[in-house]
Structure 1
Amino acid sequence: MTSTCTLHILHTNDLHSHFEQMPHIAALLKEKRSRWEAQGEHVLTVDIGDHLDRMSEPTEATWGKANTQILNRSGYQYATIGNNEGLTLTKAQLNQLYQQADFTVVLSNLREPETGEIPPWAVSYAIHRFGDVQVAILAVTAPFTPAYQQLGWDALAPRAILLEQVSALRPHVDAVVLLSHLGYQLDVELAEQIEGIDVILGAHTHHLLEHGQQVGSTLIAQTGKFGQRVGHITLSIDHQSSKVTAADAEVLDPLDYPEDSGVRAFLAQEFRQAEELLITTVAQLPVDFQLDWEKESPFATFLAASIRDWTKADVGMANSGLLLTELPAGPVTKLELLRCLPHPINPCVVTLTGAQLAKVMERAIQPEFVHKELRGFGFRGKVAGWMGIDGMTVEYGDTPDSTIKQIKIDGHPLEPARAYRVATVDMFMYNRRLLPELLDGKDIRFFLPEVLREVLAATLGNEAIVQSSFTPRYTRC
């Protein structure tokens, strides 16, 4: 009798609630499992986080529970969380997300602040047994520490935790598999620094590694985004020596498989129910808010004013590209706000000197910023758009390379050395290439868990803010 067995791992990452892929993915997972198990081989099915995204109607209406049900119906055995699960839900909502899960959530670097314990819906690691063969499954997520702290969690740096886990588990198992929602570069660093991890299944940065990447003795794999590919790892494991003797990676196209009818029917039902739940009216809008990404508009001004009012800052700034649809006068529903502002983006406040604020504004009015195509960091739009502002007026030259002539804060000339509290959106704090001067500020505070559409739901009824948004903040001279 041979001591070698074959383990197949099917993995997905960063689906972001692209539910249209799930009936095909479910069919693929089930067909492959049936075939390989009939051949006496072993199978694991795992998701590496950001399966949910609140831009989707069923996700928004159920606080992600529809995603959990889809994972159940598709046959997943293990999952970990990404920043969309961890940072776009309140602590109470995240604690409820996996109550009906038929799979095991693995996560070692998110803890309860008071006790240091793993949350009750997760385990810090799992040992999956196939007869005498044992596979250790570890998992970590990107530690956006300040944001997690405001939500009531401790997010710990993963390296020391993984070093300890691998050291303790490696002598007792035949393979070690890490589910990593850290991003490609950190996966490479972990593979270089920690001996004993056989496979890192990655996520977060949306890399597509069609045949994986071997880094030392570790195979790294990641399948891109939106369920466009399913990863397939094949491991040959020698139980006698407790070693992986061969490891290969490929990606599969789920559209090569017919839809799973049960998953398709469940999704159709979830979309119908979500629309019924989201047509709740949240405000009455007395005026039309039209959309313009290329020049100042009352809607973008209103967004900036809403963020400023919500955070009680001196100045508000929000780029008009965040607004994806217009809002007509009349009743405004949750569904309309979801379609207008689908981003999992929160307000934040940073302290800038007047000189730093002037540099931010100088950059923000340049055509290359206004027309810049944006991707990632929670942004679900197309271009940055014109910067809406509140609490501030700007005079600028009308030339191809616009130059600011004067800035006033609350009617007074900007003072270069003075500190101003500036309210804006958190995506600028995660990407230095956009407005780097913002990241040079001090005392950054994230306002969680409310996303922008929830802030607007609270301010649309404020007639003073609505009406004042029609007063221009910019003057060309």
Structure 2
Amino acid sequence: MQQVEQSSFTPRLIPLSWEDGRLVPQIRPAASGEKAARITILHTNDLHASVDGRPDENGQQRGGLARVATTVRLARESGPTLVFDLGDIVFGDGTWWNIQGIEPVATLRARAGCDLGTIGNHDLEHGVAGLRELLKGGYPIVSANLCVEDQIYPAYLIEIAGWRIGVTGLTTRSTTDLIPSRILHGITLSDPGEAAARVVSALEPLVDSIVLLSHLGFYQSGPGDPELAMRLAGSKVSLILGSHTHAALDPPCVMHGITICNAGAYGANVGEVILSHHERQPVNVQARLIPQDETVPADASWLAARVALARTFKPFHETSFALPSLPQPANLSSGPERDRTQEWILLARSLRMTGNVPASAIVMVPLLYALGHLPERERVTLAEIMTIYPSIEHLVKVELSGNVLKDLIVRQESLLYYQQARPLLLADESELLPVQVEEQRLYTIVTSELACEGGLDWGINLTASSKSLNISCSQVVRAYLTSYQERL
């Protein structure tokens, strides 16, 4: 076998679009050449703006895009390599890198090396405008079941070292339960299983192997990667690169002849897959996780780009506000499970003091997108306020009867994945207990758009009786702290 030319190691991405029921290349594919014995695929997922890494359970710093950049560079120096990201690069359980939108993180993720990505539910928190920022950040996006203004192709044909790899992406339909409809305007999500089957069938005549970039999650039952593997058994799909559920699969899971991989979350690992072939034999798959720990040095070029971009955040870190006296949280741990009493009470006080709602109202806002906690010091920075409190959803005012309110309060106690929306009386910042609710009374509730629409397992659509306050949690807290500081 002749040696494959080094020049062919650079991947050539050919977008495919639907024409008369077929996937048609938008660029003419190259003539078939000598195929390398193997190619490498690297993948990351659920970064959630963890640009600088995070401490693990032992307090050791893991991840960080500076290490990912090194891992990608070394792989590319060793042979033909593709790099994919499986979505949720921003928001969710994120960091201050989120506060200027998606583009800064997308830019740094691209700088670390990324050929193609798909969309996670959190990537859609800024709607169509956010997707434009993500694309502007520097790498293309693929999705079979997400349609938005014809900006995203359903599949790509990638030519690299003589291989022809078909790639498509999938986004979870639970996105519509996690993001308000106003923000998702102009974005359509179809059934991922049906979309994948259609694209895979159309890709098979064009490629040697197919890779699915999935943001569906690894669920043993219901819609997820295992169910997808069962549906696509016997096809040319060799690999499902998964995300969403943050499940680090090591070793990977092989189901119905398809290898399912997941690198975990926050860039703590980079997944590595080796695709190899022998004459007239199926594509062979070997996979492992590469820990991004102290053994992986930081990439100097990427660090320089990070320093330059971080300067644009300087005003957010330098602007600060005096914090009023707040009750100490019951649990003083600094982790995500720390009691959020302080954060809720500051929000309730901000609503009361800024006059956005009557003092008799009740605040009941699920802080789903609350990231981090108020600092244990006398001042809080603008960056911290914008990180801690949701800034995308509008607050809404809803009139509820007592019996409906009591049912909602009780329902919050059974929620598994989200901070319970404990109701606080604005008048004295005390918690309203179910036994205190008068069933025949009419109550004014302040909540989020998403909860009002019945998302987050609220299970009841209150939109008809709601009125938008046209202000976010972040904005109302900032307004209160500004006025509080002026009075000092």
* TM-score normalised over the length of structure 2: 0.71
Q: Which runs of 5+ in 2 are unaligned?
A: 2-33, 53-63, 331-340
The reply to whether residue 198 of structure 1 matches residue 238 of structure 2 is yes
Give the corresponding residue for 1:227: 267
**Residue 389 (structure 1) shift:** 3.6
Provide, for residues 61-87 of structure 1, a one-character-per-residue CA deviation record: whole Å limited to 9, x for no partner: 3x2222222223222111122222211
Q: Distance in 2 between matches of 1:183 and 1:423?
A: 29
CA contact under 8 A between 1:313 and 1:423: conserved in structure 2? Answer: no
Q: Distance in 2 between matches of 1:355 and 1:224?
A: 42
Provide, for residues 167-193 of structure 1, a one-character-per-residue CA deviation record: whole Å limited to 9, x for no partner: 111122111101111211211111111
CA contact under 8 A between 1:27 and 1:260: conserved in structure 2? Answer: yes
1:320–1:200 Cα change, 3 Å:
closer
1:170–1:307 Cα change, 3 Å:
farther
CA contact under 8 A between 1:175 and 1:237: conserved in structure 2? Answer: no
Give the residue type in structure 2 aligned to 1:207: A
CA contact under 8 A between 1:300 and 1:320: conserved in structure 2? Answer: no
CA contact under 8 A between 1:188 and 1:215: conserved in structure 2? Answer: yes
**Residue 233 (structure 1) shift:** 1.1
Give the corresponding residue for 1:9: 41
User: Which of 46, 51, 64 pairs up with 1:19?
Assistant: 51
The reply to whether residue 57 of structure 1 matches residue 96 of structure 2 is yes
Q: Distance in 1 between matches of 2:317 and 2:172?
A: 31
User: Which of 463, 469, 475 pairs up with 1:454?
Assistant: 475
SS at match of 1:453: helix
**Residue 206 (structure 1) shift:** 0.3
Give the corresponding residue for 2:204: 170
Give the corresponding residue for 1:252: 290
CA contact under 8 A between 2:391 and 2:475: conserved in structure 1? Answer: no
Percent of counterpart pairs with the same letter? 21
Q: Distance in 1 between matches of 2:349 and 2:181?
A: 29
CA contact under 8 A between 1:350 and 1:441: conserved in structure 2? Answer: no
CA contact under 8 A between 1:351 and 1:443: conserved in structure 2? Answer: no
Give the corresponding residue for 1:400: none
Give the corresponding residue for 2:459: 439
Q: Distance in 2 between matches of 1:453 and 1:258?
A: 37
Residues matched between the structures, number: 416
**Residue 29 (structure 1) shift:** 1.1
The reply to whether residue 183 of structure 1 matches residue 217 of structure 2 is yes
Q: Distance in 1 between matches of 2:360 and 2:199?
A: 44
CA contact under 8 A between 1:223 and 1:229: conserved in structure 2? Answer: yes
CA contact under 8 A between 1:14 and 1:204: conserved in structure 2? Answer: yes
The reply to whether residue 268 of structure 1 matches residue 307 of structure 2 is yes
User: Which of 354, 357, 364 pairs up with 1:317?
Assistant: 364
Give the corresponding residue for 1:338: 386
Q: Distance in 1 between matches of 2:317 and 2:189?
A: 36
**Residue 57 (structure 1) shift:** 2.9
The reply to whether residue 415 of structure 1 matches residue 425 of structure 2 is no
Q: Which runs of 5+ in 1 are unaligned?
A: 397-402, 408-412, 433-437, 468-477
1:320–1:273 Cα change, 3 Å:
closer
Give the residue type in structure 2 aligned to 1:18: S
Give the corresponding residue for 1:129: 159
CA contact under 8 A between 2:96 and 2:384: conserved in structure 1? Answer: no
1:431–1:125 Cα change, 3 Å:
same
1:254–1:276 Cα change, 3 Å:
same
The reply to whether residue 156 of structure 1 matches residue 156 of structure 2 is no
- Per mean C-alpha deviation after superposition, the further-off stretch among 446-455 and 179-188 is 446-455
Give the corresponding residue for 2:57: none
**Residue 11 (structure 1) shift:** 0.4
CA contact under 8 A between 1:290 and 1:328: conserved in structure 2? Answer: no
Give the corresponding residue for 1:472: none
**Residue 349 (structure 1) shift:** 7.3
SS at match of 1:184: coil
* TM-score normalised over the length of structure 1: 0.72
CA contact under 8 A between 2:347 and 2:473: conserved in structure 1? Answer: no
SS at match of 1:53: coil
Provide, for residues 283-330 of structure 1, a one-character-per-residue CA deviation record: whole Å limited to 9, x for no partner: x87x81524434798525326759994899964214799582169999
Give the residue type in structure 2 aligned to 1:145: T
Give the corresponding residue for 1:361: 409
**Residue 5 (structure 1) shift:** 2.5
**Residue 134 (structure 1) shift:** 0.8
The reply to whether residue 302 of structure 1 matches residue 322 of structure 2 is no
The reply to whether residue 210 of structure 1 matches residue 234 of structure 2 is no
More strand by share: 1
Give the residue type in structure 2 aligned to 1:107: S
Provide, for residues 384-432 of structure 1, a one-character-per-residue CA deviation record: whole Å limited to 9, x for no partner: 6964344899898xxxxxx75432xxxxx4328x797662585896655
**Residue 254 (structure 1) shift:** 1.8
Q: Distance in 1 between matches of 2:200 and 2:367?
A: 47
SS at match of 2:136: coil
1:311–1:430 Cα change, 3 Å:
farther
CA contact under 8 A between 1:395 and 1:406: conserved in structure 2? Answer: no
Q: Distance in 2 between matches of 1:24 and 1:17?
A: 15
Q: Distance in 2 between matches of 1:150 and 1:131?
A: 45
Give the residue type in structure 2 aligned to 1:183: G
CA contact under 8 A between 1:350 and 1:421: conserved in structure 2? Answer: yes
SS at match of 2:244: coil
The reply to whether residue 44 of structure 1 matches residue 82 of structure 2 is yes
1:129–1:312 Cα change, 3 Å:
farther
1:298–1:80 Cα change, 3 Å:
closer
